[in-house]
Structure 1
């Protein structure tokens, strides 16, 4: 439950975000969308080897690992190259995309958290080390004893962000299409303990946080969202919504934007991390956010760190009302 729901006079996470962090960012409006996209792609394309890549971490293996030395996090994940290479629809979430571990490391770097609850795994061949950049832009929503609630859109089969972030908040809900969630739940069971859940088996009698894995299809989101909102968030909106590399074609833009509006309230912080691929699709996406009445802020490179600034973007989005 957020601070505003308890009646405390302290600032909500969204208000803290606005006062301490958004002043460091640039608000994107109808007047500067094209300039923003041009500058973003010009800067990143010059320096990034990722500009022409699809963005998979490893599409040739059913196993991938993540580690973050400073927080002591080591996670082993299973993914499905069989689903990825099948002729079925909606297969991209079957494997891990590069922006997710980069975003996870960025938040861990920013949060200065102690070792989390993830079980120790094998040493990773896919490791990000802390950046020396000024990373003060992270929301104040992660850390021991935190009461934040988080909704992730498009968690994918690996469930990496759920494995990394859930132990650092009070409530975390990872969502995606139903056919991916069996593997997501398996990865969570393998890597985490001490969680309470109605959707994922848990062997712990000492639950420290709540973690759910639930279906949420952006093209038919309302019924699923109402179930999540009522049964998990106790009728409230989450403090934070996370989405990593969820837009890669125009078809997804409208349902995704409508889902963002549906699942967020005026105090919700939305963080959208993307690999920069096609500038026209990216501009269409940012335009759709603004035309839907959402406020969009670009996080500058100096707050993102070296890895994040190599072909990726991070935007903060706010929903001020209907």
Structure 2
């Protein structure tokens, strides 16, 4: 991870994990935000929307309440969770971005001037003419972050378990154009960026990751790995942490956004990251904005190698 990406963040170590978790969960605003729901945007509808007025981004998404309410395994990714649109809005607020190149086709010369308080990595990794490569872990059926971020980078790979990706691809087709892809139908002959939607199961990640790394990232690690609300029980922690190590190199920035639910699971997760040799940095509340700071956390994670 680049040193300048860590400006104004606090490194979490074995010595201060407990204090860090206590501070997060003892905040009044976070307690009140988490007391209301599990974190679904709308678990009663198969349709959700995302909009960001300043950048002109408008996304219409389909989700599956039928899968969510079924007895099948791994159903949580079938619907949109609140931290994803909050994270998307935060990145758009932080970055210099054009209007989203959606099929609705509205054009604008709008640019957003980043605040001096923003993390330095955010405007570098997103924006017009950007050459960044991004891997998303746990994109879910809605594919919201892919729809928002893919037009702002050179290469974006959205990953999740196979049974969710049919709907993910449908949402991408509905909302985006001008992308090159081997996994998602595209009718554009003027590709401006590459966007793939591929299976990556954390419990059996190596073969899938090697395919992504070789065929999409040309043998390199991505510049950025994104994960939103991916840890909600202890069973997922070890395979997720091992996957983070697998898919990241020394220059990769990993951004993990989480809703704060159970402090013991959260502390176990942060501990597992550090024990695996990853470096963890907390983004302070004053850099996250009002919505993001109420009930959520954002950490940067770095993989300095073996």
The Cα of 1:127 is off from its aligned counterpart by: 19
User: Structure 1 pair 282/44, CA: closer, same or farther in 2 (3 Å)?
Assistant: farther
Q: Distance in 1 between matches of 2:230 and 2:7?
A: 26
Task: Summarize deviations over 1:202-257 as a string: whole Å, max 9, x none.
Answer: 00000000000000000000000000000000000000000000000000000000
Aligned residues: 306
How many Å apart are 1:136 and its aligned residue?
5.8
Q: Within 2, Cα distance between the matches of 1:46 and 1:180?
A: 30
Further displaced range: 130-139 or 111-120: 130-139
**CA deviation map 1:62-101 (0-9, x unaligned):** 0000000111100000000000000000000000000000
CA distance in 2, matches of 1:26, 1:103: 19
TM-score (normalizing by structure 2): 0.94
Q: Report if the CA contact (8 A) 2:96-2:112 is conserved.
A: no
Residues 45 and 51 in structure 1, CA contact (< 8 A), matched pair in contact too? no
Give the Cα separation in 2 of the matches to 1:155 and 1:317: 18
Deviation at 1:51, TM superposition (A): 3.7
Q: Deviations over 1:233-288 (max 9, x none)?
A: 00000000000000000000000000000000000000000000000000000000
Task: Choose which of 98, 120, 126 in structure 2 pairs with 1:142.
Answer: 126
Distance 1:293 1:281, change over 3 A: same
SS at structure 1 position matched to 2:256: strand
User: 1:53, CA displacement in angstroms?
Assistant: 1.9
What is the deviation of 1:297? 0.1
| CA displacement at 1:116 relative to structure 2 | 1.8
CA separation of 1:46/1:295 partners in 2, compared to 1, >3 Å: closer, same or farther?
closer
Partner of 1:199: 183
- Matched residue SS, 2:164: helix
- In structure 2, how many angstroms separate the alpha carbons of the residues matched to 1:81 and 1:121? 30
| TM-superposed deviation, 1:23 | 2.8
**Structure 1: distance between partners of 2:112 and 2:78:** 22
CA contact (8 A) 2:65 2:78 kept: yes
Query: Bigger shift: 112-121 or 288-297?
Result: 112-121
| Cα distance between partner residues in 2 of 1:218 and 1:294 | 17
Q: Distance in 1 between matches of 2:52 and 2:129?
A: 21
**Which has the higher mean CA deviation after the structures are superposed, 105-114 or 277-286?**
105-114
> Cα distance, 1:48 vs. partner?
3.2
Number of the residue aligned with 1:172: 156
Instruction: Return the alpha-carbon distance in structure 2 between the equivalents of residues 249 and 214 of structure 1.
Output: 24
Moved more, 135-144 or 100-109: 135-144
Distance in 2 of aligned mates of 1:171 and 1:46? 34
Q: How far apart, in 1, do the equivalents of 2:230 and 2:85 lie?
A: 14
Query: In structure 2, the residue corresponding to 1:308 is in which secondary structure?
Result: helix
Which shifted more, 205-214 or 41-50?
A: 41-50
How far is 1:130 from its partner? Answer: 11
Following the alignment from structure 2 to structure 1, what is the Cα–Cα distance between the partners of residues 147 and 42? 19
Instruction: Return 5+ residue gaps in structure 2 as ranges.
Output: none
Distance in 1, Cα, partners of 2:80 & 2:282: 24
Shift of 1:110: 0.3
CA distance change for structure 1 residues 214 and 126 in 2, over 3 Å: closer, same or farther?
farther
Equivalent residue of 1:317, what SS?
strand
Deviation at 1:37, TM superposition (A): 0.2
Structure 2 CA distance for partners of 1:116 and 1:76, relative to 1, 3 Å: same
Distance of 1:279 and 1:125 partners within structure 2: 44
